[in-house]
Amino acid sequence: MRYINHFSYFLIFKEGSMRLPGLRLLVLVAVALAAFIAVSSMVSHPTESVSASGAASSACPTNDSGLTLPPGFCATIFADGIGHARHLAVAPNGVVYVNTWSGSYYPPNQPAPSGGFLVALQDKTGSGKADVIERFGGTEQTGDHGGTGITLFNGSLYAESNDRIIRYALPAGAIVPPGPPVTVVSGLPLGGDHPMHPFFISSDGLLYVDVGTATNACQLRNRTPHSPGAQPCTELKTRGGIWRFDANKTDQKFSPASRYATGIRNGEGFGVDPIHHRVYVTQHGRDQLHANWPELYKPEEEATLPSEEVVLLKEGGDYGWPECYYDPYQSKLVLAPEYGGDGGHKIGVCASKIGPVAAFPAHWAPNGMTFYSQKQFPAFYHGGLFIAFHGSWDRAPYAQGGYNIVFQQLSPSGTPGRCQVFAAGFAGGFNSPGQALHRPSGVAEGPDGSLYVADDVRGRFYKIVYKGNAQDASEDASYRPCPSLTASPSEGAQAQATPPEGTHENAGTAALPVPPGATHAMVALGDRIFHGQVGNGTCTACHGTNGAGTPLGPDLTKNKWLWSDGSWAGITKTIQDGVLQPKQYRSPMPPNGGSQLTPEQTRAVGAYVWALSHQ
């Protein structure tokens, strides 16, 4: 009733002016009446203006994804619990196909889901969730381990399986292939740091396969401090590049002669521009510059060098690995220390290598990529790249990064525009390999322009659609910039909440057991080194913040040992010497985990690890 009182007050106030000519009075009354109608409309129906600006959020069918997205976008959990989902492809009829993997990347003795490693998912009701899920293909019982690469071409489904690319006939109307596959290529290299084989097929039927490197930097001793690079790096004959085959042929054999491009350490994601016929490839930058060369690089440069990359694929192209890495401070390729580099000043052979089209924060791990060629999303996203960043491990003791979907804008000529953090929240607030709830590994567009994202921790799938209005579609409304490549590694890290009663750093370790001959103070020191508070310790990157293990390193709390008798002295010696040839994990552990520890600090870490295993 406030609007009635306002109108009455207006008339009462004007009573002293009743001597005005009639026309002027009539105008005043008309104005007052218009004001009354406008105000009453605003007060009586306040939800109308709110619903217009909030159309996107009210139109989202569910809000169960936990993701943070730009205005106007909605996400649903399309499926869950599928296994270690890697790359995915979406058929013209909307069926989503995914390749899952139980290879050496994941913790040993972890059972694979029952059924085949390949999965078909379909939403028949339009709910945004898969109501048909069918598994097919090889199983553990048939000697398979799944894979990463998968795509659709010319009525067939292609997938990576162990050392092969296989092809299934997929008749119209079928969700899963009715018959067994044929082998397109076999003999792809396995083992080492990057055993996966992502691929794409061009419109003219050529199959391009990424073969990642077996090592970090082609050192004589992989990931070992001060070990020089091999001269020449013979690994490049069969690893570290893109190989080309004919997708229409069968029983082709992998060979060095089929190499199409070289110097790509681990190119997991492909983005194909169908209009301009350009192919973009992700590049995982190398690790452990400070850990292996502490006299040349500062501790914080472990977390900021080198950049991750997106490169433009060219026949015969050389993209620099292992001799070069991309320095974001100088915006160019520089010489690696294993090949005579001096910490970022020397260029050497890197002057003739091909640099990236776009660069991203160090160690974020670009695992999947797709070129957006549809129209459902606003114009800002047309003709750009969506990249699935799996998340870092090699930024410890600084905050880890990635665990998100980034959008890289591209102009029609292929030059990079804005970089946007498009989707975040996958990790559930735990940005570390051992604790992240979900890690994006694959991304693909559907025929209607929806975006699908696969997670390889718990096998969750997300479907992202656009339901916004014109205001949501504005470029400024949707833009959240990527972090600066040259920002301090501590910048952007979330401050951890502290209890009101304060913190007592030794309270937890005081309750841990102490190995014979050690002290509580030594265990407490080991705890602080383990968690990166002293000595730039990097232990949590591979073993997790609670020591319970990650896909990169074993659980230290189970009192099970492969390299010692489990005594304090034995554990300490293993830490000191490193594990250069792991028995169950694919990447070696350098001496002292790559940290520059004194003998006392090494013994302290050994005491803390012993305590973890005896609590």
Partnered with residue 208 across adjacent β-strands are 200, 244
Backbone phi and psi for residue 532, each to the nearest 5 degrees, phi listed first: 80, 10
Give CA torsion, residues 29, 32, 33, 36, to 10 deg. -160
Q: Which residues neighbour 521 within 8 Å (Cβ) at sequence distance 6 or greater?
A: none
Sheet hosting strand 85-90, strand order edge to edge = 85-90, 96-100, 118-122, 132-136
Residues 13, 18, 22, 25, Cα dihedral to 10°: -10
**Could you give phi then psi for residue 545, rounded to 5 degrees?**
-65, -25
3-state secondary structure 142-203: HCCCECCCEEEECCEEEEEECCEEEEEECCCCCCCCCCCCEEEEECCCCCCCCCCCCEEECC
Checking if the pLDDT of 494 tops 60, the result is no
Say how far apart CA 426 and CA 439 lie, in whole Å. Answer: 6
Across the chain, which distance is largest between two alpha carbons, in Å?
107
Q: Which amino acid is at 440?
A: P
Taking residue 438's Cβ as centre, other Cβ atoms within 10 Å add up to: 25
Burial 510-532 (b: 16+ CB within 10 A, else e): eebebbeebebebbbbbbbbbbb
| 3 state DSSP class of 309 | strand
CATH superfamily, domain at 59-478: TolB, C-terminal domain (2.120.10.30)
Who contacts 8 (Cβ-Cβ below 8 Å, separation ≥6)? none
Would you say residue 349 has pLDDT above 80?
yes
Please tell me the number of Cα atoms within 13 Å of 444 on its side-chain side. Answer: 25
CA distance 374 to 275: 12
What are the structure tokens assigned to 328, written together?
A: 């974001």
Q: What stretch of H or E contains 401?
A: none
pLDDT tens sequence across 113-141: 788 999 999 999 999 999 999 999 999 88
Q: Specify the pLDDT at position 9.
A: 30
Residues of the chain above pLDDT 90, percent: 64
C-alpha distances (whole Å) from 552 to each of 101, 288, 434, 524, 534 are 15, 15, 9, 25, 22
Predicted confidence (pLDDT) per residue in 181-214, tens digit: 999 999 999 989 999 999 999 999 999 999 999 9
pLDDT more than 70, % of the chain? 85
State which of 72-81, 478-487, 606-615 shows the largest mean pLDDT. Answer: 72-81
Instruction: Return the axis-axis angle of helices 520-530 and 599-613, rounded to nearest 10°.
Output: 100
Strands 252-253 and 182-186: parallel
Q: Is 288 in contact with 216 (CB distance < 8 Å)? A: yes
The answer to whether the beta carbons of residues 90 and 102 sit under 8 Å apart is no
Rounded to whole angstroms, what are the CA distances from 326 to 268, 311, 335?
A: 18, 12, 9
Q: What is the overall mean pLDDT for the chain?
A: 85
The rounded distance, in Å, linking the Cα atoms of 45 and 387 is: 43
- pLDDT recorded at residue 470: 72
What pLDDT digit, counting tens, does each position of 217-240 carry? 999 999 989 999 999 999 999 999
CB-CB neighbours of 497 under 10 Å: 6
Instruction: For residue range 37-58, list pLDDT tens digits in order.
Output: 333 333 333 322 222 333 334 4
Tell me: cis bond preceding 107? Omega within 30 of 0 counts: no
Instruction: Report the pLDDT averaged over residues 85-114.
Output: 85
CATH architecture assignment, domain 507-613: Orthogonal Bundle (1.10)
**How large is the average pLDDT for residues 275-302?**
96
Q: For residue 258, how far is the Cα from the chain centroid?
A: 29
What's the CA gap between 394 and 538, in Å, rounded?
A: 8
Asked if 422 and 453 count as a contact pair (C-beta separation under 8 A), the reply is: no
* CA distances to 299, 386, 543, 611 from 526, in Å: 19, 41, 14, 10
- Which pLDDT score, from 0 to 100, does residue 593 have? 86
The one-letter code for the residue type at 513 is: P
Break the chain into its structural domains and give their ranges.
2-45, 59-478, 507-613
Look at residues 292, 272, 265 and name the one whose alpha carbon lies nearest to residue 207: 272
Residue 467's alpha-carbon distances to 422, 451, 588, 601, in angstroms, are 15, 13, 47, 55
